[in-house]
Amino acid sequence: MTVNDIDGIAVTTGPGLVGSLLVGINYAKGLAFAAGKPLVGVNHIEGHVYSVSFEYPAPEYPALALVVSGGHTNLFLISEPEKYKLVGRTRDDAAGEAFDKVSKLIGLGYPGGPVIDRLAQRGNKKAIIFPVAEIKDEAHKLDFSFSGLKTAVLRHVREHQIPRVADPANPDEQILDLCASFQHAVIRALIRNLRKAAEIHHPKTLILAGGVACNSELRESVRKLAEELRVPAYIPSPVFTTDNAAMIAAAGYPKLLRGERAPLDISADVSMRLQNVDLEDRNSTKKVRYKL
C-alpha cells in the first residue's frame, strides 16, 4: 500500500509523555496535510481498549475493561461503543510502574514486568504474604493502590538483607519466591476489584488490555473470573498489548467513518481523560496543554 491507498490518519493525542505525543502529532499533521487525508485524534487508553478488535467480534455491552500498563491502571464500564465511565483507578503507582520499581530494587533491570513474570513461574507465590491495599471510601472502593505493596517489598528486602541480583538469568530461590509473591499480590488486587465491579455492573464481556495484559498469571486469572461469571474474556495476544500503532488505527476507524475530524492545530493533552466523552467535543482544542 501507499499513502494514496489510506483513507485517513489516526494519532494519539494523549495521555502520555509530552515529548512522545508532540513528535507523533506533528508528524501525523504533516502527513495528513501533505497527502490531503483526514486526521482523527485518539485517546491512548481507548486505543488499548480497541486492541481486542483484531481477534474478537464486537463485544456485548455493557463491558468491563481493565486497562493495566506502566502509566495506567483503570477500570472502565463501557455501556456502548465509545461510551466510557471510569469506575476504578490507581491512587498512586500504576501496576506496571510497581513491577518496574520492584525489578529495579532487586537488580533485575527495566522493564520489570516480563522478567518478574518469567521468574515468578519458578517461585512459590505463597512464600511471602504481601499486603493488598483496600480503599475504605465507599465512593471509590474500586480504586487501586500499589505504593504500600512497593514499600512492603522494600522492607522485606532490607529486613532479610537480600542482595541485588548478580545473574538475572539464574537468581537464587529467595528472589524467585519474592518475584512470585509480589506478582501474586498485584494480581490479587487487580482481580479483586474486577470481581467487585462485575458484581455491581453485571457486564456481558470482560476486556483486559494494556502492557501488563502480557502477564501470564493475570491473563489466566481474568479467564478464570470470566468462566465464573459465564461471560467471554477478551484478552489480546501479547503483540497487541503493548503500545502499538494498530490499536490507535482501530480506535480511529469508527471516528473516521462517522466523519469526525481533528483540526490541524490539535496538540497534546498529557492528562486527557476517557470518561463521558462527548463525541462532538472529542477533538476540541479547549484543553490543549502543550504546543510547539
pLDDT tens string 106-134: 999 989 999 999 999 999 999 999 988 88
Q: Does domain 3-48+243-281 have CATH number 3.40.50.10540?
A: no
What pLDDT shows up at residue 271?
A: 87
For residues 79 and 97, give the distance between their C-alpha atoms in angstroms, rounded to a whole number: 29
Q: Which H or E run includes 267? A: none
Q: CATH topology of 3-48+243-281 equal to that of 58-235? A: yes
Confidence tier at 276 by pLDDT (50, 70, 90): low
For residue 59, is pLDDT > 70? yes
Q: Are 71 and 97 in contact (CB under 8 A)?
A: yes
CATH class of segment(s) 58-235? alpha beta
For residue 208, is pLDDT > 50? yes
For residue 284, is pLDDT > 50? no
For residue 217, is pLDDT > 80? yes
User: In sequence order, what are the residues at sequence separation of 6 or more whose Cβ sits closer than 8 angstroms to the Cβ of residue 172?
Assistant: none
Provide the strand spans (E) within the chain: 9-14, 39-43, 63-68, 73-80, 83-89, 205-209, 233-234
Question: Would you list the domain boundaries of the chain?
Answer: 3-48+243-281, 58-235
Task: Give this prediction's pTM.
Answer: 0.90
